[in-house]
Amino acid sequence: MSVSDRVFAGSIPQLYESLMVPLIFEPYAADAAQRLHALKPSRVLEVAAGTGVVTRALAKTLAPDVQIIATDLNQAMLDQAAATGTMRSVQWRQADALALPFVGGEFDAVVCQFGAMFFPDKARAFAEARRVLRPGGVFIFSVWDAIAANEFADIVSAALEALIPQDPPRFLARTPHGYHDRAAIARDVAAGGFDNPAVIETVAARSRAATPRVPAVAYCQGTPLRNEIEARAIPLAEATDAAAAAIAKRFGSGAVDGAIRAQVVSARA
């Protein structure tokens, strides 16, 4: 993983919240909230909360007396999450998933939506989730499936490879879509100290936008892919235009509707 893969700074948090969240994250946030609601937890920890899409779903779905603590490594993302707000009070806290600032057994559930792919040591992060769970508590996390199963991401990546063939930005395939092998996930969960085998489900959804330019701007400017583009001798606007043209070629110039697919993992302490 490149160091820039974990840099969510500048205008990325705002674009991530305004474009990426409705484009691909909201369906899975609702799914995570419903899964936790069925477990009836009293104290929930979210790690890699980003701009708070899952946090907002939890605040809306869980009982009012459930305590929610949402953490992220990137303070800029938490600042955006806090600015967007939730329908009830939650606690925002900067924290590294590999060294959580909580004592053991504090939580009934730990949830992480599309953050595990960014962990430099996944087994260690999973061990931290296991450590802060009470006996019988549940860790639920999601990761994106292979890039080929996520159409907009695949098209954007291919468009940038055609535009910059000598040194194509590979962030999307390398990191967000680079951790989907079920056997590897199961091994990492077990290495994190979960004695019960991980339950891994494939969950498909749809990604919709009013125009091809929306996903092009979302991916090229609202994710760390932007860092890779800006490190090359191609203007960000040109890269975004190339991505938009490729999406339009595949889906047309009006509203677009692409497939997205993830792996949702559950592990009980």
Distance (Å, rounded) from C-alpha 62 to C-alpha 131?
23
Enter the DSSP assignment of 74: -
Contact 166, 174 (CB under 8 A): no
**Predicted TM-score of the model (pTM):** 0.95
**CATH T-level fold of 3-268:** Rossmann fold (3.40.50)
The residue ranges of every structural domain in the chain are 3-268
For the chain, the straight-line distance linking the first and the last C-alpha, in angstroms and rounded, comes to 29
DSSP string of 203-223, one letter each residue: EEEEEEESSTHHHHHHHHHSS
CA atoms within 13 A on the CB side of 262: 24
Closest CA to 68 of 101, 102, 45: 45
Distance (Å, rounded) from C-alpha 261 to C-alpha 176?
12
Token pair of 220, please? 């090229």
Closest CA to 122 of 47, 16, 208: 47
Contact 113, 54 (CB under 8 A): yes
Report pLDDT for 3.
65
Question: Alpha helix (H) ranges present in the chain?
Answer: 12-15, 26-39, 53-61, 75-84, 122-132, 151-163, 171-174, 182-191, 213-221, 225-230, 236-251
Report pLDDT for 10.
87
pLDDT in tens, the chain (269 residues): 676 766 677 889 999 999 999 999 999 999 999 999 999 999 999 999 999 999 999 999 999 999 999 999 999 999 999 999 999 999 999 999 999 999 999 999 999 999 999 999 999 999 999 999 999 999 999 999 999 999 999 999 999 999 999 999 999 999 999 999 999 999 999 999 999 999 999 999 999 999 999 999 999 999 999 999 999 989 999 999 999 999 999 999 999 999 999 999 999 99
Three-class DSSP category at 164: coil
Give ∠ CA 226-227-229 in degrees, rounded to 5. 60
